[in-house]
Amino acid sequence: MRVVHSAMLWSRREETQRLLLYVALVLVSVIWQLRPYNDPDFFWHLKNGEWISQHRELPTQDPFNYTSGVVEPARQRFVLTSYWLSEVIYAAVDGLMGFPGTVALKFLVALPFLLVLLKLRRGDPVVHAALMLCFLLMFYRFYYLDRPQAFSFLFFAALLVLLEKERTRAAAPSRWRSFLPIPILMLFWANMHGGHTVGQVLIVTYVALEGVKFLHPALQPAGPERYRRLLIVGGAGLLASLANPNSYHVLQLALTQAQDANFAGNAELASSVLFYSKTRAPEIFIFWAALVLAAAYCLTTIAKPDITQIVLLAGTGYEGFSHMRFVPFFMIAALPAIGLLLSAEWVRRWTRPLLVVGAVVLVAYFSRGVFPSREFVSRALRVNGDSNPIAAADFVLANDLKGNLFNTYAWGGYLIWRLGPERKVYVDGRGINPKSMFDVKWVCLAVELPGSSEPYWKSVLRQNGVGYLIIPRPQRRADIISEDTSGFIKALLEDPEWFPVFADTTALVFVLNRPEHRDVIARHGLAKDRPLGWWLRADFPG
């Protein structure tokens, strides 16, 4: 009786732990989806979806950026069309419900993502829930669910569940409907985000390595009938993924971008080591710990290796270590393997309490400062005025400023959303023209080239017909994405052709002294003789 009673107490304790972890998973997901929109790419996705809905076609030329016309057509087409379905969904939800609708859409992605991650469980449920909590803390800190990339994370996890089901099912069903989930998933994925190339690679990996297993019985091959079915559904999935505006060119373009030196500064393409050296973000240690545990799992199964699982972990692990963009794919793929490793009888009794306590500590540490107060929720339901030039855009529209706009990289997406397509931007997060991304850095630094008759920044503005510019005041807050414009502001104030006409805590607006702007300068011009510190301070007194 004492043994039975002890077992019942242990079972109740386990159920309580699992319930508490599930509650924590939901709370963490809710809190982190209520962050303000700080990602500059969100807005151009929203605007592109609006443009597609209005014109009932996909754009062939960039409607929003006046410097993108000289770019290779295939690359421009990829950027303009590879997210079209998700962008149309974003625009439709925003049109019906406004910003609260886009927040609700994040929850509609986060919920199935949680459920699919739970479906990946192998091993002890408490261990798996604690691992999920650690993973989601890192995931939500680094990655946003308000961009089409969120669908790639969701679909990758779902595809992994479906492929695992295909290769491990006891008997292959013959109903034709059972062949549809993978092709349908790949069809949607291919039209919602270019990351579907990861899904194509995943399918090829499974089909190829499950075939290799037939070379030797020690590799534990599946039965011929199961493998035949995997071939059919995998091939159908690959064919369905080609039904997108860029067909098979997506993989080629993605590889080209990853190797392009112009994108070397993109944090998503940086290695995890370089990313940590620049940010000192402690969350990266969760990823590194997962790498070590995944390697340990592979070593413990070396006697009866599952080559499909080993290659999957090695491939996604290498890509995640080399490029931050692929970290979520590794973490998703590694969850089942690490769960199995830590569920082994000889380690479970001490890893389970350590994981539960560790997950709770991580939640408390990384969620500090994001408690969902009324003000916190209110900021999530509107455009963040601390990181976007809301009043500056209002000023441009109210005064009908003339000429081309010059803007910094981080604000391109927002200005596309507010001002486009009637007013086009100089640069934005799509990076269609890498040269403009390069130029904007040197303009903000106000460099002067040796032997040139005028400063480089001035020649860039003149050659591009810039009549007005919106630039950020230097920001000291770590959560604000902003270029250092202090040198550029100083140069503009010293130049007789440029006049400041607007200033708030976020942005400055300068206009070129031309006949169309003389009335604006007369009514709104600001005295240039203020101390330089006034122009550079984001918390200036009004």
Q: Which of these ranges, 352-356, 371-375, 386-390, has the smallest mean pLDDT?
A: 371-375
Residue 267 has pLDDT above 70, yes or no: no
The H or E element that residue 507 is part of is strand 507-512
Long-range contacts of the stretch 435-444 (C-beta < 8 A, 24+): 435/67, 435/262, 436/65, 436/67, 436/68, 437/262, 437/409, 438/262, 440/408, 440/409, 440/483, 441/483, 443/406, 443/488, 444/408, 444/471, 444/483, 444/484, 444/485, 444/487, 444/488
Element (H, E) at 360: helix 345-366
Tell me what the pLDDT averaged over the chain comes to: 87
Lowest mean pLDDT among 22-26, 44-48, 172-176, 459-463: 172-176
Residue 460 has pLDDT above 70, yes or no: yes
Tokens (6 digits) for 178: 């059972």
Predicted pLDDT at 177: 86
| Beta carbons of 123 and 340 less than 8 angstroms apart | yes
Query: Is residue 265 over pLDDT 70?
Result: no
Cα–Cα distance for residue pair 279/257, rounded to 1 Å:
23
DSSP lists the bridge partners of residue 472 as 507
The pair of three-digit structure tokens given for residue 292, joined into one six-digit string: 């070590």
CATH class of 390-536: alpha beta
Q: Does the pLDDT value for residue 297 go beyond 80? A: yes
**Per residue in 412-455, pLDDT tens?**
999 999 999 999 999 998 888 888 888 898 899 887 777 667 88
pLDDT at position 224, please? 86
Per-residue pLDDT for 266 more than 80?
no
The answer on pLDDT for 199 being more than 50 is yes
pLDDT at 371: 64
Assign 261 a pLDDT band (cuts: 50, 70, 90). Answer: very low
Q: What is the pLDDT of residue 222?
A: 83
Domain boundaries, the chain: 2-33+82-366, 390-536
Residue 280 pLDDT exceeds 80: yes
Q: Is the pLDDT of residue 257 over 70?
A: no
pLDDT, residue 369, reads: 65
Dist CA 383 CA 75 (whole Å): 30
Enter the tokens of residue 5. Answer: 């009673």
pLDDT for 270: 83
Per-residue model confidence (pLDDT) at position 5: 46
| Residue 55 CB partners (closer than 8 Å, separation 6+) | none
Higher pLDDT, 396 or 36: 396
pLDDT of residue 28: 86
Can you give the pLDDT at residue 264? 45
pLDDT of residue 262: 45
Query: Which comes out higher in pLDDT, residue 506 or 69?
Result: 506
Given a cut of 90, whether residue 495 has pLDDT beyond it is: yes
Please say if the pLDDT value at position 8 is more than 70.
no
**77-88 pLDDT, tens per residue?**
888 999 999 999
User: What percentage of the chain reaches a pLDDT higher than 70?
Assistant: 89
Over residues 334-360, the mean pLDDT reads 87
In the predicted structure, residue 276 carries a pLDDT above the cut 70:
yes
Question: What pLDDT does 278 receive?
Answer: 86
Count how many Cα atoms sit within 13 Å of the Cα of residue 179 in the half-sphere of its side chain: 14
pLDDT band at residue 403 using 50, 70 and 90 as cut-offs? very high
Query: pLDDT class for 256, splitting at 50, 70, 90?
Result: low
The tens digit of pLDDT for each residue in 97-119 reads 988 888 889 888 999 999 999 99
Q: What confidence category does residue 273 fall into, taking pLDDT thresholds of 50, 70 and 90?
A: very high
Residue 231 has pLDDT above 60, yes or no: yes
